[in-house]
Amino acid sequence: MLKNIPPQMPPELMKAMLEMGHGDELLLCDGNYPKFGCPERCVRMDGYGISEILDMILRFFPLDAYVEHPTTLMAVLKGDPYKPVIWEEYRKIGLQYETDGLREEAVEKPVFYEKGRHCYLCVATGERALYANVILKKGVVK
């Protein structure tokens, strides 16, 4: 046992985050995310939502300070009136751990899937909110 590690943190996720280097990306995907958009490495956390996992990850995971947008969200499809309220939760969590917050951008679905396929790691969740997928670019610890 170790101290101060959240009980829901799977050992595989901690190991993968430690292995990642500056610029590597981590995909947090919701329960509807397709397999073709995922990298080979995947940690399953089906019983948790992305907000909870994001809060846990950002305790340890520095966002890249050398890029304008170290966080990528999946943009709402044109013509879809849905407003992703979960993004506000993400922003609040980001401000707890990063001085400038998440500094996110939203990209169209095909672009997000292509970017997701090239991530170092995917965390598959049970998140039910629409447009809840997130990609985080790892920074350096200063």
Q: Annotated active-site positions, please?
A: 22
Residue type, position 59, single letter: R
CA distances in angstroms from 25 to 1, 47, 68, 122, listed in the order given: 28, 23, 15, 9
